[in-house]
Amino acid sequence: MTSPSSTIVIEDDELPPSWRSANSHVQRTSPRTSPEILTEPNDAAIGSIEPSRKRKRAKGKQRDTLDTCFKRLRKTLDEEVESLDQEVKKLQKQI
């Protein structure tokens, strides 16, 4: 079994400088950074590229919703316990 420290991870399909060919005019392009991938065909033809709008993360909203649900549940539970306590007191008085 190999240890994690002996594992070499090469990101973006890029080779370290020592592994590249001796020919300096050969350049590798990553498929994720090629111009065809970064721009849409219509934008490339027009020449105006607008930055894309990032989506808002829903983590905060989900957390708020979860907190709200727990608060409602706690409130309902407290009300139910209070009503049961009152009923127990009434029954104890009758005895």
pTM above 0.75, yes or no: no
∠ CA 30-36-40 to the nearest 5 degrees?
A: 135
- For the chain, the domains span 17-94
Digit-coded pLDDT (tens) for 40-57: 555 445 555 666 676 666
Coil, strand, or helix at residue 45? helix
pLDDT at 84: 97
Phi-psi region of 12 (alpha: psi -120 to 50; beta: other; left: phi over 0): left
Q: What is the pLDDT of residues 51-95, one digit of tens each?
A: 667 666 655 566 678 889 999 999 999 999 999 999 999 999 998
Helix (H, G, I), strand (E, B) or coil at 26: coil
